[in-house]
Structure 1
Amino acid sequence: MLRNIKSCSILLAGLLLSGSCTNLDEKLYDRITSDNFLQTKADVIRDFLRPFEHSYWSIQGGSTFMLQENSTDELMTLNRQGDWYDGAQYQRVHYHTWTPNDNYTSDAWNALYQGINLATNSLEDLQGIQDPGKFNLTQAELDDYIAELKTLRAWLNIRVLDLYRNMVIVTKVKGETQSGPQVTPQEAFDFIEKELKDAIPALPTRQDLGTNAIGRWTKGGAAALLVRLYLNAKVYTGKDRFSDCATVCQDIIDGKYGTYALESRWDAPFDYNNSQSSETIFGFPGSFGLTHWQYSSDMYFWMMPYQATRYLGFTDFGEANPKYALQPGRDVDSVEYSFTMGKPFIKFQRYPDDFRLKKYKNLGNSKREGMFLYGYLPYVNADGRTDTVRGNKGPYALFLRDQVGMFLNTPPGTKISDKESNMNHGDHNSGVFPLKYPYYPSNDDNKISSAYAEIRLAEIYYAYAECKYRAEDRPGAASLLNAVRTRNYPAGSPSLYKADGSQLTDQEMLDEWGREFLVEGRRRTDMVRWGVFHSGTWWDKKPDADDHTTIFPLGQNVLNASRILKQNPGY
């Protein structure tokens, strides 16, 4: 369907090289218009691609990743002996005591709406083209660009709906000087659904785009967004759409929107060559020399101890940072907590033959094993001697554990007298660290080359399984889950669910979502859908007083900029 794909990819690389656009006050309608900018085909393609760069940044920019993970039973940002206290802002996220004056409540809104405005601006430009032949474009090519921009905008709109619920629908930015009115969640849902359904006929398939499909919205990508919309419809609008969700899931699996297939290795969807993976439905292209936002300081690079880069042999970015770690499953005496929520590492250990449970280790030749950093992390220092990763609060070696406390230089297995364990009382030994995307050594040609897999076929299988489970079809749910899970365990593993699905419960379904999609920026959404985000108990977290915390407040900075926006209920 689409010509000049190679040209698009080259232009996209150039745009990504420029980095994130973080000026949230930019007046887009004063910058680009079809009258003074679109003169050549290259101009049109640049205009088309500009919103994609910002959208890639938005997977973590504006605190989006932090809010989706730190507010849940999965990740934590501890006060580590004074590090990461930051005015207790992360503790307020953990305890659900945020206020409109916390900047991140404005940052996420602004980050997503800047992407929406960019997409809308480009849409206005391209929809204003009366004669595509003037730009050496066919009508089909122009229609595809427009459909992709609508799909990108829908992806951003779904995220606003998910975080804030009461949102503004933007369809015009040129000449506009203030925000439009908020619409009801049902109106927003209907707008997004229609936009996706209207876009699908004009979109290419993954096969149409070939090796350049990464970073481009396709029929499969738009259909997958409908899956997300329908799966969470009851939360968003009060109306159950699980049947519609199941139908679209089956269509995607059957190949109606393009051909996809699950990978046979657990780590393949995240590896350096995942841009060509048959499991990637939509992803953002990443590379060491250009843009790689999932490897940034607001996401995975700040999800390991400072000196962990020495253990990994990757030193190009300097030292890492332990901003994020998994919440603990055990108290300071190594006794498992009694609550059922959280305890993410223990949830993996429930199935002890899981390949992912191995300690992360680079094996050479762009290969690795394991998904977690724990215990001692040895490396060879500049003097050629074996050394061990240490923290910044003392000379002792760190022993990373599934606990939070002041362990300091206490050897593993030795009990400490200080039994306190909470968000304000942890050291640099505290917490296990997940490494989902590989950090290959600095001398590896494929270091920091993974695309960010925003939508994987595994998600469609899990969404379909949830629909079947809710419809009392446990065998069907178990079969779908096992289709993905089989790659996590040895052949013949007893860890696969029984064919009758008898092991599946609400909690197990939520736990399995957590295992497969650990630290992929969706945990809050899943917990809200299962009704436990505000009512559950997990480490250092008691149930909320009511359910108003299932959405965030509009930040005070956002409200100050618009007289017509109204604050969300409960704030």
Structure 2
Amino acid sequence: MKTRFNIYKTIGLICLFIVVLASCTSDLDIIPKDDQTTLSEDLFDNDTAYKQVLAGIYANLALTGTDGGGSSNLKNIDAGTSQFGRVLLYTQTLSADQMIWSYENDPGTREIQRNLWTAQNPLLLGMFSRTHLSIALANNFLRETTDDKLDGRNVSSAVRSEIPAYRAEARLLRAMAYYYMMDLFGKANFATEDDPVSSQPIVYDRAQLFDFIETELKEIETDLIAPRQNEYGRADKAVAYMILAKIYLNAEVYIKENKYSDCINYCERIIAGGYNLADNYLHNFMADNNTNSATNEIIFPIISDGVVTQNFGPTTVMINGSVGSIEENGIEVGVGSGGWGGALRVRKQLANLFGPAFANDDRNTIISSGRPIDIVDISDRDTGFILQKYSNATSTGSFGSDQTFVDTDFPLYRLADVYLMYAEAHLRGGGGSLSTAVDYINALRDRANNSNTITSGDLSLDFILDERARELHWEAHRRQDLIRFKRFTGGSYNWVWKGNGSNGISLPAHFDIYPIPQASIAANPNNLTQNPGY
């Protein structure tokens, strides 16, 4: 078991079930399912509870319930379709040109990977609901940590000294939830701690969400802990800077405004925070990435622990799913020899980005082993190349604590992405330095043991898009990147099975935003409306 900020233990688990959390959206009918569940008024009488309840907000990023990986605290929503990291991976990566899921009878996956989704897709409902639960959890924590509440409970001065940072973290996690709603759905049910519990929420559109996220993250900066000074797994100033950099990089998509100079500014702030690239690229994706050199690079992880936080999250899915049906290479990556029998494979568009110049690049973990590159029949698990990027092995030669549920944290944000954002924002007119941008790209290649360094003449937007794929594949960025580069919808760039065509077909423009789940509209019919085209 890993040593970390114990964000998913005891009350950190239990607080996910506080019954008052239905305030954010009425389709989140949270019902206690555990004899140990404590309602908020009693819970907060204990000084030690404040950090544990904060832990519950973090826990919602990894867990779906308290009774193991198959349990769900969202009424009528399955755990397999609502784990935050997993559904984020599906919506951002499976929907694009890098990944194929073999078992299309799994709810919602066929429609996501063939770009056939509708408002009834259970994965979209899971993402919409899980993200709103993060908002509700944060709102509840903020309501219970006001000065008046703390005075009434005679909270100790030692705990009170921590509360400003705790509240800032809760607000950051809420802003992050709204960021993903803005990106994926273009709108969200909107509520803060100032709204009455169980009131019907208003709805914010993209412009309103952008303004809220930007304002909120800037307001809490003073109270957040400095970069790399918080406990591992907790957010700090650099996480706020990362979200700001990302909304500014994508501002032309979100609000039709150029914010590239702001993106450069916040990239520079992150880089000044003391981060360094991991010694080895693959350290970022190993079972000890909380203690190996990846701790210098990972800005914010979704924590996974094979004992404490058993869940079917993104790293458990990718490590078990990447084991080849032919190769049965699970033992070397720290899971069962057969894994999940070839559940995941690589679309040829990603494989083709690793040509001869990348044969020895550490980022190239694609295994062909005599397989055909083409996936003509998605159910044929022996076709298409496989990937061995993520592992339940450690950098010291051992393995994770469980051979199904992995110890590998999901690197939601890491420094390599910041280097690539800086280079792109510079090319888009955001300022900064061309030589610095080139140096950042070459630092990534040097770290990957790739001698093919670039010069300023090589740096172009098309190059950046490809290099982001080589560096960040299967890290839940690709859909967003393709939309920013105007390659996701339309027919200027097609990939296998795009739009359900074996060689790819054009997608209508409204597919740049997902539909609002019909069940969520039914829960807030007076305010929440469907996105155009659906």
TM-score, normalized by length of structure 2?
Answer: 0.81
Partner of 1:551: 513
Partner of 2:67: none
- What pairs up with 1:60-71 in 2 under 5 angstroms? 60=84, 63-71=87-95
The residue identity in structure 1 corresponding to 2:383 is: S
CA contact (8 A) 1:17 1:291 kept: no
The 1:298–1:11 alpha-carbon spacing in structure 2 relative to 1, beyond 3 Å, is closer
The 1:476–1:207 alpha-carbon spacing in structure 2 relative to 1, beyond 3 Å, is closer
Partner of 2:449: 489
- Indicate whether 1:568 and 2:522 are aligned: no
Aligned counterparts of 1:288 and 1:183: Cα–Cα separation in 2: 38
Q: Which moved more, 1:159-168 or 1:306-315?
A: 306-315
The residue identity in structure 2 corresponding to 1:435 is: Q
- What pairs up with 1:368-383 in 2 under 5 angstroms? 371-375=365-369
- Indicate whether 1:180 and 2:140 are aligned: no
Partner of 2:79: none
CA contact (8 A) 1:214 1:275 kept: yes
Partner of 1:364: none
Alignment partner for residue 408 of structure 2, among 450, 467, 482?
Answer: 450
Aligned counterparts of 2:363 and 2:310: Cα–Cα separation in 1: 26
- What pairs up with 1:193-208 in 2 under 5 angstroms? 193-208=214-229
Partner of 1:9: 5
The residue identity in structure 2 corresponding to 1:263 is: A
Q: Which moved more, 1:473-482 or 1:519-528?
A: 473-482
- What pairs up with 1:228-377 in 2 under 5 angstroms? 228-255=246-273, 259-276=274-291, 277-291=295-309, 293=311, 294=313, 298-306=317-325, 308=328, 310-312=330-332, 314-315=334-335, 319-328=339-348, 343-356=349-362, 371-375=365-369
Q: Deviations over 1:96-140 (max 9, x none)?
A: 221112222222101111121112111211235333862353543
The 1:8–1:222 alpha-carbon spacing in structure 2 relative to 1, beyond 3 Å, is same
Alignment partner for residue 467 of structure 1, among 401, 404, 425?
Answer: 425
The residue identity in structure 2 corresponding to 1:568 is: N
- Indicate whether 1:521 and 2:515 are aligned: no
Alignment partner for residue 112 of structure 2, among 93, 98, 103?
Answer: 93
CA contact (8 A) 1:143 1:202 kept: yes
CA contact (8 A) 2:88 2:127 kept: yes
The 1:545–1:539 alpha-carbon spacing in structure 2 relative to 1, beyond 3 Å, is closer
Aligned counterparts of 1:91 and 1:11: Cα–Cα separation in 2: 34
- Indicate whether 1:530 and 2:485 are aligned: yes
- What pairs up with 1:133-212 in 2 under 5 angstroms? 134-172=155-193, 176-177=197-198, 179-209=200-230
Partner of 2:21: none
The residue identity in structure 2 corresponding to 1:246 is: I
Aligned counterparts of 1:246 and 1:206: Cα–Cα separation in 2: 17
Q: Which moved more, 1:308-317 or 1:537-546?
A: 308-317
TM-score, normalized by length of structure 1?
Answer: 0.76
Q: Deviations over 1:199-241 (max 9, x none)?
A: 11111124533xxx21111111111111111111111111111
Shift of 1:154: 1.2
Partner of 1:119: 138
Shift of 1:426: 5.0
Alignment partner for residue 403 of structure 1, among 374, 385, 388?
Answer: 374
The 1:327–1:550 alpha-carbon spacing in structure 2 relative to 1, beyond 3 Å, is same
Shift of 1:265: 1.6
The 1:556–1:10 alpha-carbon spacing in structure 2 relative to 1, beyond 3 Å, is closer
Shift of 1:446: 4.5
Shift of 1:162: 0.5
Partner of 1:436: 389
SS in 1 for 2:357: coil
CA contact (8 A) 2:97 2:347 kept: yes
Aligned counterparts of 1:297 and 1:430: Cα–Cα separation in 2: 22
Root-mean-square deviation (Å): 3.2
Shift of 1:177: 2.8
Shift of 1:88: 9.3
Aligned counterparts of 2:178 and 2:94: Cα–Cα separation in 1: 22
The 1:115–1:176 alpha-carbon spacing in structure 2 relative to 1, beyond 3 Å, is same
The 1:105–1:153 alpha-carbon spacing in structure 2 relative to 1, beyond 3 Å, is same
SS in 2 for 1:35: helix
The 1:224–1:291 alpha-carbon spacing in structure 2 relative to 1, beyond 3 Å, is same
Aligned counterparts of 1:313 and 1:485: Cα–Cα separation in 2: 24
- Indicate whether 1:72 and 2:99 are aligned: no
The 1:36–1:456 alpha-carbon spacing in structure 2 relative to 1, beyond 3 Å, is same
Shift of 1:27: 5.8
SS in 2 for 1:126: coil
SS in 2 for 1:532: coil
Aligned counterparts of 1:88 and 1:322: Cα–Cα separation in 2: 18
Alignment partner for residue 107 of structure 1, among 114, 126, 135?
Answer: 126
Q: Which runs of 5+ in 2 are unaligned?
A: 19-26, 64-81, 499-503
Shift of 1:526: 0.9
Aligned counterparts of 2:31 and 2:191: Cα–Cα separation in 1: 14
The 1:319–1:16 alpha-carbon spacing in structure 2 relative to 1, beyond 3 Å, is farther
CA contact (8 A) 1:312 1:440 kept: yes
- Indicate whether 1:217 and 2:235 are aligned: yes
Q: Which moved more, 1:518-527 or 1:537-546?
A: 537-546
Shift of 1:484: 2.0
Q: Deviations over 1:519-564 (max 9, x none)?
A: 0011111111111110221223345353110000011111122212
Partner of 1:410: none
Aligned counterparts of 2:391 and 2:105: Cα–Cα separation in 1: 29
SS in 1 for 2:155: helix
- What pairs up with 1:414-429 in 2 under 5 angstroms? 421=376, 424=377, 427-429=380-382
Q: Deviations over 1:411-433 (max 9, x none)?
A: xxxxxxxxxx2xx4552211222
The residue identity in structure 2 corresponding to 1:355 is: D
Aligned counterparts of 1:518 and 1:234: Cα–Cα separation in 2: 23
Aligned counterparts of 2:113 and 2:202: Cα–Cα separation in 1: 31
CA contact (8 A) 2:392 2:408 kept: no
- Indicate whether 1:130 and 2:150 are aligned: yes
